[in-house]
Amino acid sequence: MKRAQALAIAGAGAAGGFFPARARAATATIRMGTGLTDSGILVLVAQSLGYLDRAGIAVDLQIIPNGAATVAAMLGGSIDIGGSNSLSFLQARDKGLPLKIVSAQAVYRAGAASTALVESAASTVRSAQDLNGKVVAVNALGGSPHIAVEMWLDKNGGDSKAVRYTEVTFTEMPAALAANRVDAAMIAEPSLTAALDQHGRILGDAYGALGRLWLSDAIVGTESWIDIHADEAKRFAQALHAAALWANRNHDKTAPISAKFLNIDPIVVRTMRRAVYPEQVTPALLQPVIDAGVAYHALSKPLVAADAFSAGAITS
């Protein structure tokens, strides 16, 4: 794991209205793990705008490749909190791991999907039914993109059981489509833009099959850490909520952070579909993920959405 470099946005504007005007002395350093995603920059936005300083929080940020490694790092004590997609987090709770949401990180919102089901422009597939008997690439079997594709197929005249799924990393999906190694792929940004630039086309908004608004990513911690650090966790969540409200209205000003964090061309960031950050956080945001997970056997049983959140993570 490596520590992310401090980032700043030139001309981002002053932070105000959410915390006291003068930064309090840092009362807590939180060790956080995150993956290289556009949603992962939210903590850096909060840092660059001074929201974390005003909340008295310092963040030691570490890059961790996937959700499993994040959970292992938390349970092993090398980080305090970490970013996770919602389904992976719920699967961990389903197995009895004592995790809760410290802060929401990103949501799916209808009409603003940054992950989509893509096919080659040369493909003859035109509908969900046309994918029966075909091969669809997902980044992880049983993960959120996989479950979403299955639900989208079944809701749109296809048969999720008649499709073969294969694991391909997001970065490798554009090439797999171009070489016709797969018939379609559920691709997240920035690889989604790369696929479309290589003559791919969007077949469907598969995430929309779960609902019009739901929690896609969260920052989670162990229940024991949250219990001991309840005040710090709440202040951290408040800082990220303030950053979310600002970032959704200032994509142009967050683009330099995302470009540096993801190590991609700023032009790509400005043209790609950006993450949508949560403006109101309630347990209802998590319910579509629970329902889909149970329906497609990614979860063994229904979970109570409200039990998955720490008190400080709820905004209304």
Helices 86-94 and 144-155, interaxial angle, to 10°?
Answer: 100
Q: What is the mean pLDDT of residues 128-132?
A: 97
267, two tokens = 């032009």
pLDDT at 23: 52
Q: What is the mean pLDDT of residues 172-194?
A: 95
Q: What is the mean pLDDT of residues 216-231?
A: 96
Regarding beta strands 99-109 and 184-188, do their DSSP bridges make them parallel or antiparallel, or are they unpaired? unpaired
Distance of CA 166 to the CA centre of its chain: 21
Evaluate the omega torsion of the peptide bond into residue 190 and state whether it is cis, within 30 degrees of 0.
yes
Q: Give all strands (DSSP E) within 8-142, no chain letters.
A: 28-34, 57-63, 81-85, 99-109, 115-120, 135-138
pLDDT at 316: 66
pLDDT per residue over 208-219, tens digit each? 999 999 999 999
pLDDT at 62: 94
Per-residue pLDDT band at 25 (split at 50, 70, 90): low
Please report the domains of the chain, with CATH numbers, ordered by start residue: 2-109+213-313 (3.40.190.10), 115-209 (3.40.190.10)
Per-residue pLDDT band at 69 (split at 50, 70, 90): confident
Q: CA–CA separation, 271 vs 194, rounded Å?
A: 11
Cβ(316)–Cβ(281) below 8 Å: yes
Task: Give the range among 64-68, 157-161, 200-204, 292-296 with minimum mean pLDDT.
Answer: 64-68
Contacts of 110 (CB under 8 A, 6+ apart): 205, 208, 212, 213
pLDDT at 24: 58
Three-class DSSP category at 137: strand
- The pLDDT mean for the chain works out to 90
Task: Give the range among 35-39, 79-83, 200-204, 229-233 with minimum mean pLDDT.
Answer: 35-39
